[in-house]
C-alpha cells in the first residue's frame, strides 16, 4: 500500500483532491493462457490491491492454474468487444483498466490509477515496447532466424538496432496519442466504471473497438495519459517481423480512417498476418 499512499500525499500536496479508488483489471484472452498467467503474476507481484478478471473466449483449461481470487469469465460470444464487456460486467471497482494478455503493467501505473481525481473519466497508460523482453539472446536469435535468413550479427548490434526501432515506434505512438488523440487497447485504456456503463461499453466490432470506444470516452470529460508505464511483449514483431507488422498496422489504420467496413478490415488483417507469419 505504500506506493499508493505516497501518490495520495503528493496529490494532496499539489492541491488536487483525490480519493483512493478501487481498481478492477479486465484481461481479454483468446487462447493466450500462458501470457495471461504471466501478466497475472506480474500484477500480483505489485503491492497495489486490485481485482483481476480474465475474460476468455477460447480454451479455459488454464483457469485452475490462476490464483483463486482471480475472477474467471468464459465468454461464449466471440469478439474482443464482447469479452471486454463481459469482464467489465463482473467487475466491482471504481475504475476499470483493460489490459491485453501480452502486456506487463508497472506498480507506478497501478498506484496512479488508485489516486485519480474523480473528475477524470478515463485515459491510458504510457506504452513502451520493452527492451526487457528482447534482451535475452535466444529471443533475438529467433528473430534473426525467422526474418533475416539466419544471418548472424553481433548480439549487441542486434539489440541496438531493435532498441532504436522500438524507440522510433514509441515516438509514433506518442504522436498518435497526444496529437491525433487516437488510443488503442494495447495502451492500457482505463475508464471510470460509471462512465463505462453510461457509454454502453464497447461495441462488438471485429476490429478497432478500442479506438471507437475511446473516441466516445473523450467527450465525457477530462482524459489523462498517465506516466506509469505499460510494457508490451513484442510477439507480433517476432512472428511476422517488425517492418511487416508496422506496415500492416498502417494499412488497416488507413482502411479504418477511410471508412471501410470493419469486417473487411478484419479479414484483410487476418489473411495478411497469416501469410507473413513464420
Residues 86-115 pLDDT 10s: 999 999 999 999 999 989 999 999 999 999
The span from the CA of 238 to the CA of 242, in Å, is 7
Cα–Cα distance measured from residue 158 to residue 152, given in angstroms and rounded to the nearest whole number: 9
Extended beta strands in 147-241, E state: 190-192, 223-232
| pLDDT above 70 for 13 | no
What's this model's pTM, rounded to 2 decimal places?
A: 0.86
pLDDT at 88: 96
Give the contacts of 171 (CB within 8 A, at least 6 positions apart).
none
> What was the pLDDT predicted at 276?
86
Residue 11 in 3-state DSSP? helix
Rounded to the nearest integer, the mean pLDDT of the chain is 86
How many of the other CB atoms lie within 10 Å of CB of 260? 13
Instruction: Name which of 92-96, 116-120, 137-141, 258-262 the model is least confident about.
Output: 137-141
Q: What is the mean pLDDT of residues 60-83?
A: 90
- Name the residue ranges covered by the structural domains of the chain: 2-276
Instruction: Report the pLDDT averaged over residues 216-243.
Output: 89
Under the phi-then-psi rule, with left for phi > 0, alpha for psi from -120 to 50, and beta for the rest, what region is 221? left
Residue 10 has pLDDT above 50, yes or no: no
Would you state the cell numbers that stand for residue 179, as one nine-digit string?
496529437
What mean pLDDT is predicted for residues 131-138? 62
- pLDDT recorded at residue 151: 64
- Cα separations (Å) of 120 from 18, 108, 235? 10, 18, 32
CB within 8 Å of 157: residues ≥ 6 apart: none
Cross-strand partners of 192: 95
Is CATH 3.90.550.10 the right assignment for the domain spanning 2-276? yes
**Cβ neighbours of residue 260 closer than 8 Å, sequence gap 6 or more:** none
Find, among 206, 265, 230, 190, the residue nearest to 57 by Cα.
206
Interaxial angle between packed helices 209-218 and 80-89, expressed in degrees from 0 to 180 and rounded to the nearest 10: 50
Amino acid at each position: 500500500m505504500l506506493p499508493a499512499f505516497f501518490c495520495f500525499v503528493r496529490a494532496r500536496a499539489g492541491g488536487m483532491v483525490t480519493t483512493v479508488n478501487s481498481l478492477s483489471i479486465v484481461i481479454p484472452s483468446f487462447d493466450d493462457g500462458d501470457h495471461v498467467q504471466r501478466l497475472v503474476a506480474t500484477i500480483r507481484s505489485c503491492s497495489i490491491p486490485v481485482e483481476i478478471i480474465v475474460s476468455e473466449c477460447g480454451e479455459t483449461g488454464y483457469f485452475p492454474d490462476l490464483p483463486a481470487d482471480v475472477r474467471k469469465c468464459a465468454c461464449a460470444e466471440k469478439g474482443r468487444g464482447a469479452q471486454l464487456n463481459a469482464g467489465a460486467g463482473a467487475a466491482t471497482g471504481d475504475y476499470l483498466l483493460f489490459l491485453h494478455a501480452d502486456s506487463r503493467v508497472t506498480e507506478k501505473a497501478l498506484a496512479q490509477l488508485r489516486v485519480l481525481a474523480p473528475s477524470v473519466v478515463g485515459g491510458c497508460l504510457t506504452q513502451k515496447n520493452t527492451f526487457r523482453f528482447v534482451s535475452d539472446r535466444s529471443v533475438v536469435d529467433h528473430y534473426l532466424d525467422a526474418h533475416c535468413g539466419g544471418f548472424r550479427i553481433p548480439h549487441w548490434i542486434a539489440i541496438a538496432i531493435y532498441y532504436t526501432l522500438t524507440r522510433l515506434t514509441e515516438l509514433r505512438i506518442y504522436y498518435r496519442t497526444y496529437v491525433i488523440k487516437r488510443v488503442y487497447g494495447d495502451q492500457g485504456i482505463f475508464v471510470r466504471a460509471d462512465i463505462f456503463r453510461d457509454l454502453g461499453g464497447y461495441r462488438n466490432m471485429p476490429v478497432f473497438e478500442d479506438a471507437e470506444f475511446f473516441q466516445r470516452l473523450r467527450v465525457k470529460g477530462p482524459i489523462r495519459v498517465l506516466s506509469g508505464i505499460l510494457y508490451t511483449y513484442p510477439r507480433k514483431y517476432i512472428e511476422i517481423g517488425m517492418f511487416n507488422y508496422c506496415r500492416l498496422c498502417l494499412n488497416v489504420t488507413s482502411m479504418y480512417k477511410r471508412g471501410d467496413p470493419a469486417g473487411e478490415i478484419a479479414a484483410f488483417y487476418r489473411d495478411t498476418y497469416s501469410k507473413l507469419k513464420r
